[in-house]
Amino acid sequence: MKEIKLVLVGFGNVGRALARLLQRKSVLMKSQYNLTWKITGIATGKHGMAINPDGLDVDKAIELVESGQSLDQLSTVKKPADIPAFIRACPGDVLFENSPVNHLTGEPAITHLRTALEMGMHIITANKGPVVHGYKELTSLAASKGKQFRFESTVMDGAPIFSLHRSTLPSAELRGFMGILNSCTNLLLERMENGETLDEAVQYGASIGITETDPSGDIDGWDAAIKVAALVTVLMDIPLKPQEVDREGIRGITPQMLAEAKKSGERWKLVCRATRQGDHVQASVKPEKVSSASPLYSVNGTSSFIVFETDVLPGLGVLESNPGPVTTAFGLLADMLNIYQTR
């Protein structure tokens, strides 16, 4: 039986969902994977950090954060000066990095992941920034250390997008893809179809934990653009930054436009596209009207959908229905189990 020491940077909705999922899957992990685990460190942006080489009390950590208290009281060592120092101070086999995304540079998450690799940890993240801005560096460094860099949860939460291509489509050449990758804007447009203003739809999204305090990353298409960039960078092996994606958000979609589309049997969707053109790719995120014949038409609520075009499979689609933090947490857990199963 192997015990895995886990270090968590970020303990928001996804981080706490991961902790609970680890608890729920403990018996299965023992019986099917011969693995046990303990969390030796948790660092947050607002609720302090805690390190205990013997393993933290997970339930107490969740309770403290959800009641607005600091994790510092759980620590058995002196508080490190910053997150990199925290990572260096934690005995760990795997780092889960789930800090807020930086669309423009990928920092400080890239530094967190680099530090963990240098300390001999596998790295797993739901943060899209490091995949787009640090993929080559982190992949190369991981290989030099005999470790792995996994990031299944960065696009479509727990749906197996990257592992689908990595494991089950050998030699298939990806020519392009199209889909709905931002579940937040999909929900907002649907609410607006039913008569709400954009502000009212955003308020509803906030009430169920879908929209951020600043929802501009979703509304202006940045979240969708960085997901497109991640897919192109990894699956097409063509480095692409979100700034290079032809991007338009949903602020220009008016109630009148939605009503007219509905009357004619169409719907507005924020559509992501990428098409290989030789050694380059043309990528876009834009609102489009889709007819009832389109597979995008019936993608409702916070669901996501993508269809891939390859040289051997002209249309391979994946639909994820109404994901939440547990879905994202599952992608993180699956990455970890796949690392140890592969090894």
Burial class (CB in 10 A: 0-12, 13-18, 19+), 115: buried
Residue 182, token pair as written in the block: 């931002």
Tell me whether strands 149-150 and 174-180 are parallel, antiparallel or unpaired: unpaired
Q: Beta strands of the chain (E only): which ranges?
A: 2-9, 35-43, 49-51, 94-97, 122-125, 149-150, 174-180, 246-247, 266-277, 280-291, 304-310, 316-320
pLDDT band for 166, please (50, 70, 90 cuts). confident
Q: What are the tens digits of pLDDT across the range 284-302? A: 999 999 999 999 999 999 9
Q: Is it the case that residue 229 has pLDDT exceeding 60?
A: yes
Superfamily for the 169-320 domain: Dihydrodipicolinate Reductase; domain 2 (3.30.360.10)
Q: Is it the case that residue 323 has pLDDT exceeding 90?
A: no
d(CA 228, CA 245): 8
Helix (H, G, I), strand (E, B) or coil at 248: coil
From 128, 147, 227, 269, the catalytic residue? 227
How wide is the angle at C-alpha 127 spanned by C-alphas 82 and 199, nearest 5°?
A: 105
d(CA 317, CA 307): 4
Percent of the chain with pLDDT over 70: 99
Please give the pLDDT value at position 343: 53
Q: What are the tens digits of pLDDT across the range 53-111? A: 999 999 999 999 999 999 999 999 999 999 999 999 999 999 999 999 998 999 999 99
| 131, containing H or E segment | helix 128-145
Give 277-316 as a DSSP string: ETTEEEEEEEEEEEETTSTTTT--TT-EEEEEEESS-S-E
Catalytic annotation on 60? no
State which CATH number among 3.40.50.300, 1.10.1370.20, 3.30.420.40, 3.40.50.720 fits the domain covering 2-158+325-342: 3.40.50.720
Q: What pTM, to 2 d.p., does this model score?
A: 0.94
Domain boundaries, the chain: 2-158+325-342, 169-320
The better pLDDT of the pair 211, 273 is held by 273
| 74, containing H or E segment | none
